[in-house]
Amino acid sequence: MDISNIRQLFPILDQKVYGKPLVYFDNAATTQKPQSVIDTLCRYYTTLNSNIHRGAHYLAAQATDEYEQTRRKVQAFINARHSREIVFTRGTTESINLVASSFAEQFIGNGDEVIVSAMEHHSNIVPWQLVCERKGARLRVIPFSDEGILDIKALEGLFNEHTRIVAVNHVSNTLGTVNPIAEIIEMAHSHNVPVLIDGAQAISHRKVDVQKLGCDFYCFSGHKMYGPMGVGVMYGREELLEQMPPYQGGGEMIKDVTFERTTYNELPFKFEAGTPAVGDVLGLSAAIDFINSIGIENIAAYEEELTEYATSQLLKIEGLRIFGTAPEKTSVISFLIGNAHPYDTGTLLDKLGIAVRTGHHCTQPIMDRYGIPGTVRASFAVYNTREEIDTLIAAINRIAPMLL
């Protein structure tokens, strides 16, 4: 894999900040976009812009065609059984809210229980808390170890006749842990409980095969997989989606509307009310092409190399602690330098041209678990290099005396 060729596809990387070459290590928050994705957005608004599905004219037909082709591309990308199981949303957050709200309407009642893990992003906690408040249900939480490994034995003990759904992430955005979701799904299914997987941090790092996994819902965002912001995916198993009521009412999701009674459209349109982000969906298509052109396995292998190298170099720095040391991780490294506040570290690194994220990363329960205010998080994508990691290490060595 020639990384310099890959880097050339990302115009944003070729710039200086504060006079220093940009080192972009905030990929878990959002990845940069290749020129092909940017060009697709530009092409859509320059030559294709129109509202889909309803138009009797050329542009509407073309846009609809490309929109529906993207649905089939996403279907193939995650190996869903049917394209009608792919629902376009604004992102992971909306996907999870859609499932929580609609699933709860049909399947969750007073006294029921929802299982999440202690390493979820707030987007996979708060929607379920809202549901629990509304329905008089209760949240149960899978704990994790100091290394950042979910306690699967504890999970087994959480199931009972009130359990209605398990919602866990595939990969933790703070710890980088790749969770044993196949095992979790199997365990949940043995109790007849469906599983939602938050795949926001996995989709650009691991091959996802929803049929092989057997998950009931899988949610992800376009912008964390080299695609545009404003588009995401909710995969749901047809049998469940058929039983679930619409999430939002509006255009496109109906079959017939009268003031007496409205009937709903078939899948997936039942869950796609209103005008979608058509240009962004087409951008997602270009992002999938980009990933496929390299191969997700190649991306994973290269990122693993980078992560191992960065981890070994970081651990040489005196007083530096890494949070999340599970054997199977993606390219996310959370750390603290001594007792320095993560924000101070992040600000100093920024002045040296290095973009990292600091804070709780929308995972406050993880911070509570370790008794820390936040971490500094460096997260890598396929366009990052060893040289950039060397720059990070040199920068930390330079700023550490100011912080400690």
By C-beta, is 102 or 173 nearer to ligand PLP? 173
Stretch that binds ligand PLP, among 66-74, 87-95, 100-108, 275-283 (CB under 6 A): 87-95
Query: 363 CB contacts (<8 Å, ≥6 apart)?
Result: 119, 120, 121, 122, 172, 173, 174
391 binds ligand PLP (CB under 6 A): no
Three-state DSSP class for 321? Answer: strand
Three-state DSSP class for 196? Answer: strand
337-341: Cβ within 8 A, 24+ apart = 337/376, 337/396, 337/399, 337/400, 337/403, 337/404, 338/400, 338/403, 338/404, 340/403, 340/404, 341/373, 341/374
Residue 250 neighbours by CB distance under 10 Å: 11
- Ramachandran angles phi, psi of 384, nearest 5°: -80, 160
Closest CA to 44 of 247, 228, 259, 320: 228
Stretch that binds ligand PLP, among 196-204, 273-281, 301-309, 348-356 (CB under 6 A): 196-204
Minimal distance, residue 332 CB to ligand PLP, in Å: 9
Q: Side chain identity at 78, as an amino acid letter?
A: I
CB 334 within 8 A of CB 325: no
- Written as one string, the DSSP assignment of 245-269 is PPSS-SSSSEEEE-SS-EEEPPTTG
By C-beta, is 224 or 237 nearer to ligand PLP? 224
Minimal distance, residue 129 CB to ligand PLP, in Å: 15
Minimal distance, residue 150 CB to ligand PLP, in Å: 14
Closest CA to 393 of 347, 326, 339, 337: 337
Stretch that binds ligand PLP, among 16-24, 88-96, 252-260, 330-338 (CB under 6 A): 88-96
Stretch that binds ligand PLP, among 35-43, 50-58, 185-193, 195-203 (CB under 6 A): 195-203
Minimal distance, residue 27 CB to ligand PLP, in Å: 11
Choice from 40, 70, 93, 102 touching ligand PLP (CB under 6 A):
93
By C-beta, is 116 or 354 nearer to ligand PLP? 116
200 binds ligand PLP (CB under 6 A): yes
358 binds ligand PLP (CB under 6 A): no
204 binds ligand PLP (CB under 6 A): no
Q: Compute how many residues bind ligand PLP; rule: CB under 6 A.
A: 12
By C-beta, is 181 or 399 nearer to ligand PLP? 181
Choice from 70, 201, 285, 331 touching ligand PLP (CB under 6 A):
201
Query: What is the Cα–Cα distance from 350 to 327, expressed in whole angstroms?
Result: 30
Binding mask 165-194 for ligand PLP (x = CB under 6 A): ----x---x---------------------
Choice from 179, 221, 285, 330 touching ligand PLP (CB under 6 A):
221
Apex 399 CA angle, 396 and 400, nearest 5: 75
For tokens 């997987």, what's the residue?
Answer: 197
State the DSSP H helix or E strand holding residue 195, giving kind and residue range, or none if neither. strand 195-198
331 binds ligand PLP (CB under 6 A): no
Minimal distance, residue 104 CB to ligand PLP, in Å: 19
92 binds ligand PLP (CB under 6 A): yes
By C-beta, is 113 or 198 nearer to ligand PLP? 198
Stretch that binds ligand PLP, among 86-94, 125-133, 239-247, 263-271 (CB under 6 A): 86-94
Half-sphere exposure of 180 (CA within 13 A, CB side): 16
Known active-site residue 215 = no
91 binds ligand PLP (CB under 6 A): yes
Half-sphere exposure of 229 (CA within 13 A, CB side): 4
User: Where does this chain bind ligand PLP (CB under 6 A)?
Assistant: 91-93, 121, 123-124, 169, 173, 198, 200-201, 221
Catalytic residues: 362
